[in-house]
Amino acid sequence: MFQKSKDPITRTGLGIIGAVGVALIAVALWTTFVPLTDGEPDSDTVPSADDGPPVGPLPQVGDGESLESVVEETGGEDTELAEELAQDEAAQDATTVTDEAEVEAVEADQAEAAPDAVAVAEEETAAAGDPPPLEAGDDAQTPDIGQDAADTLAAEESAAAGDPPPLDVAGEAGAQEQAQADAGAQFTEEGMALLTADAEAGARVWNQCRACHVADEEQNRVGPHLVDIVGRQIASVEGFNYSNALQNVEAEHWTPEELDAWLADPRGYAPGTTMSYQGLRDAEDRANLLTWLYEMQQGE
């Protein structure tokens, strides 16, 4: 063995060398068993005694995969992993069932409320006076409101739309014929015979009367105008001064027979009349004149 040196300097040098060697050995051992980090160790990454064995990220169960297949892929060794996957899958199934149940409940409520809504709408329509809607198969069974009501409704819709009313030529002709028929209804058969003679010949006879009378406008001259004379009330033209003799005749209206008698002999028909005309002696001329006046009155 070595002999101890009695030199103090030598002993000091050997002590320093031995201390440095021990320190180097300690550092080597530390770096071997304890890895160096940049800072303080992270408490989240350093396992503790209470954490149990580390568990990696949970595998995902994809569409078309079963829990058993995922467990088989992991080797079936992690029982806790299998239980967590089973709980997740059961929770998803429960959520799906709950959503489907809620949708079915909403659809059922809507189906139950639909008849009530239809009934309320029908009651409101009936209260407003609107006709009920046509059901399927009722296309050919439209309500019969009558032709007159339908024409009136169509005319109101056209007026509301600003469209001019259609010209009803046939209707105007029918109205004129109806007016003539109504006028003729108040006359006797003999009187109507006086109104169906020769109107063109009557226009020539009119030349004897035109100096004192007007037939196409309500204008009085020496005598009163003769507009609408056939069937008119006797002595009724406003603004004309009739004689007392004409105002006191028994007849009330100028029927064809009364006009014929007046034209034949004015002074004999109403003694004391101021009319200076001597009368139209020819019966055919009187009938032609009355026919012309009547057609003027009808607008022909």
Q: Is residue 8 part of a domain?
A: no
Q: Is residue 137 part of a domain?
A: no
- 59 SS3 class: coil
Give 206's DSSP letter.
G
Q: Which of 101, 126, 151 is the last residue of a domain?
A: 126
Contact 260, 192 (CB under 8 A): no
Contact 195, 288 (CB under 8 A): no
Report the DSSP beta bridge partners of residue 233.
Answer: 253
What is the per-residue pLDDT for 273?
A: 94
Contact 269, 238 (CB under 8 A): no
Q: Are residues 117 and 213 in the same domain?
A: no
CATH classification of the domain holding 230 = 1.10.760.10
Point out the residues of the chain with pLDDT beneath 50: 1-2, 37-39, 41-49, 54-55, 71, 76-77, 136-143, 167, 169-170, 172-173, 176, 179-181, 184
What is the per-residue pLDDT for 98?
A: 64
Q: Which of 126, 147, 173 is the last residue of a domain?
A: 126
Q: Is residue 229 part of a domain?
A: yes
Q: Are residues 121 and 191 in the same domain?
A: no
Task: Dump the DSSP string for 35-48.
Answer: ---SSSPPTTTS--
**Total domains present in the chain:** 2
Give how far Cα 228 sits from Cα of 101, 166, 194, 217, 275, Å. 88, 29, 16, 10, 20
pLDDT tens string 197-225: 999 999 999 999 999 999 999 999 999 99
Q: Are residues 198 and 285 in the same domain?
A: yes
Q: Which of 187, 195, 186, 151 is nearest to 297 (CA)?
A: 195
Q: Which of 111, 126, 141 is the last residue of a domain?
A: 126
Task: Dump the DSSP string for 101-153.
Answer: HHHHHHHHHHHHHHHHHHHHHHHHHHHHTPPPPPPTT-TT------HHHHHHH
Q: Which two tokens stand for residue 61?
A: 């169960």
Q: Is residue 62 part of a domain?
A: no
Q: Is residue 283 part of a domain?
A: yes
Contact 265, 279 (CB under 8 A): yes
Q: Are residues 122 and 208 in the same domain?
A: no
Q: Are residues 121 and 193 in the same domain?
A: no
What is the per-residue pLDDT for 140?
A: 42
Q: Is residue 43 part of a domain?
A: no
Distance CA 143, CA 112 (A): 32
Q: Is residue 13 part of a domain?
A: no
Q: Which of 234, 214, 211 is nearest to 224 (CA)?
A: 214
Model confidence pTM above 0.85: no
Q: Is residue 224 part of a domain?
A: yes
* Range(s) of the domain holding residue 196: 186-298
Burial 191-230 (b: 16+ CB within 10 A, else e): beebbebbbebbbebbeebeeebbbeeeeeeebbbbbbbb
Tell me the pLDDT of the chain averaged across its residues.
74
Q: Which two tokens stand for residue 186?
A: 């108040």
